Structure 1
Amino acid sequence: MDAVRGSGGSETAKPPRRSAGRSLRGVVAVVCAGVLLASCTAADPAPGESGGAASSAADRPKRAAPPRADAPLVVLDPGHNGRNGANLDRIERKVPNGRGERKHCNSTGTSTDDGYGEHAFNFAVAEAVRDRLTRQGVRVQLTREDDDGVGPCVDERAAIGNRAGADAVVSIHADGTDSDASGFHVIYSDPPLNDAQRGPAVRLARAMVAGMTDAGLSTADYIASTEGFDGRDDLAGLNLSTVPAVLVECGNMRNPDEARAMSTPEGRERYAEAITRGIEDYFDR
């Protein structure tokens, strides 16, 4: 995450708009009712099914239309980047931390004992969350478009969400701590520095914990809070956000069981589903 626990991670707040039309349920209902999708749950038929490869266009599900202009905007921030480790001179320069001090631009992130990098896990999960949300008609932007670059710095990651006027920013990470520690936790900026951090970010954190718990994930057993919440003042990406923002530590990459899950496509899909549930819960409250 954002260079903590050794795991190597305008000022006017814009609280999320809460009209019924901006809920995810409202967006999905409009997409379905408008016949922009032939079936909101249908999958592409396999060759040989429903007429096979020669099936007519009428038999095939339609592609989802682009998200509506008034749909919620979610910025996903996959922590770190694939080439950070080879560019320490760039990621160790100091940038503002949002509380009058300075910290490293970024960090390398942690990894499993087998060498699967946190940066790769973060990006894979972010892509999967993006795909899930986009299918629901949500507008999604990532702070980086691949896993073969450097940075961006933590202050620029915050600026991306601020400039976009995001309705929610979710930074995706994994921790690297003692091997017997396990579970996820959600970090928010505390004490708050603006209205977005004071109210909406806390609600986003609570919704994220609820969604991930509902998806069957356990809260962390190695932080002070047993409920999965972690208010902190040292993460620049959260401190500098003027829109609702949280950071999700999906689990511990040094825990053998969680490392195995994070290293498989099926495990990463489970984390993506859990994060998506948290975002859905936030918008649908």
Structure 2
Amino acid sequence: MVAGMSYVGPDFDAPEPRPPRRGPLTVAIAALVPAALLGWLVYEAVADTGGRPAGAAPRTGPPAAAPSADDGKLSPSSPAPALSGSLKGKVVLVDAGHNPGNFRHTAEINRPVDIGTARKECDTTGTSTNSGYTEARFTLDVARRLRTILERQGATVKFTQDGDRAWGPCVDERARIGNAAHADAAVSVHADGAAQGDRGFHVILPASVHKGTADTRPIVGPSRDLGERIEDSFTRVTGSKPSNYVGDGTGLDVRSDLGGLNLSTVPKVFIECGNMRDSTDAARLTSGAWRQKAAQGISEGIVSFLRG
């Protein structure tokens, strides 16, 4: 809301004694089988760690909320896209809204920061489903899935936070991270906290703002293009409908009160993937298979935008 599984291979019986001489076909098969098994194991390790190779340095910071069995996993019904390199040289900023640790640092996140048009709190805790599944946990999961998909296509993906800091960052810093990375596209992932019966997703676009430290005029056009492409692909891939309570059915909303958009100098949008307080939307948001579709829908919009 704006506001290590490891594979255990089968037990193999001890090999039977073989004749001392082997034909060339037998030797070739014997060499290929271990290599194929090793390749499969490497793929599983990468997929289950959100695209990070096994053995990579562990991320630091406070432990995140205990994940469900399918948190961060690719859905069996949504096979990973093949490596294509089509986004080589492109930089994408993925901003996982809020932070699981924000609720422990209320003084820090309540500190006002300048967003150009006003001063607002540094960050918020976000919302949650009625059963307690938090927005911060949702956004991290979708962001990690999105990173995996984009990196497999050759993009460089930057995060504002990856559960590797105790709280935040503040909304102004989130914008600066994307600006410093010279991101070709930036997306902030959220989920809403509206009333029961309010359903669907919407993409938030930056208004034309030129006040104080904020000047969105150069990014309004490209941000709308990015947002419209994400709205289209998200609808198609997830089966979700545009919001019935924001955007007049278009799935698009323009705002001038969000620091993450006001202070951005790169094309950027927010996406509210659904309403966590509505039981129908909550059933989707808490499903790992659906979150994989959400990441895929967002990624296809980004790819369409970057390819032009």
Q: TM-score, normalised by structure 2?
A: 0.72
The 8 Å contact of residues 84 and 152 in structure 2, kept in 1 or not, is answered as no
Check if 1:114 corresponds to 2:148: no
Q: Deviations over 1:44-72 (max 9, x none)?
A: x9968xx8998232674797999799521
Check if 1:255 corresponds to 2:272: no
1:197-208 matches, cutoff 5 A? 197-208=219-230
Alignment partners' CA distance in 1, 2:193 and 2:164 = 19
2:173 alignment partner in structure 1: 156
Alignment partners' CA distance in 2, 1:52 and 1:279 = 43
The 8 Å contact of residues 46 and 52 in structure 1, kept in 2 or not, is answered as no
The 8 Å contact of residues 109 and 121 in structure 2, kept in 1 or not, is answered as yes
Tell me how far 1:264 sits from its aligned partner.
2.2
1:2 alignment partner in structure 2: 2
Change over 3 Å in CA distance of 1:273–1:65 after alignment to 2:
closer
Q: Which residues of structure 2 form unaligned runs of 5+? A: 11-28, 44-81, 210-214
The 8 Å contact of residues 276 and 285 in structure 2, kept in 1 or not, is answered as yes
SS where residue 56 of structure 1 aligns?
helix
The 8 Å contact of residues 184 and 218 in structure 1, kept in 2 or not, is answered as yes
1:73 alignment partner in structure 2: 91
Larger Cα-atom Rg: 2
Tell me how far 1:282 sits from its aligned partner.
1.2
Alignment partners' CA distance in 1, 2:97 and 2:30 = 42
Alignment partners' CA distance in 1, 2:30 and 2:138 = 36
The 8 Å contact of residues 86 and 153 in structure 2, kept in 1 or not, is answered as no
Alignment partners' CA distance in 1, 2:31 and 2:176 = 47
Q: Deviations over 1:205-235 (max 9, x none)?
A: 1111111122122100001431111000000
SS where residue 95 of structure 2 aligns?
strand
The 8 Å contact of residues 120 and 147 in structure 1, kept in 2 or not, is answered as no
Q: Deviations over 1:165-206 (max 9, x none)?
A: 000000000000011011010001112433432211111111
Change over 3 Å in CA distance of 1:255–1:92 after alignment to 2:
same
SS where residue 219 of structure 2 aligns?
helix
Check if 1:272 corresponds to 2:295: yes
1:1-285 matches, cutoff 5 A? 1-3=1-3, 55-57=33-35, 60=39, 71-99=89-117, 101-146=118-163, 149-192=166-209, 193-215=215-237, 216-285=239-308
Amino acid at match of 1:189: P
Q: TM-score, normalised by structure 1?
A: 0.77
Amino acid at match of 1:145: D
Amino acid at match of 1:126: A
Alignment partners' CA distance in 2, 1:205 and 1:114 = 30
Alignment partners' CA distance in 2, 1:267 and 1:53 = 39
Alignment partners' CA distance in 2, 1:277 and 1:238 = 21
Q: Which residues of structure 1 form unaligned runs of 5+? A: 4-44
Change over 3 Å in CA distance of 1:92–1:223 after alignment to 2:
same
Name the Cα RMSD after superposition.
2.8
SS where residue 127 of structure 1 aligns?
helix
Q: Deviations over 1:245-267 (max 9, x none)?
A: 00000000011021122112112
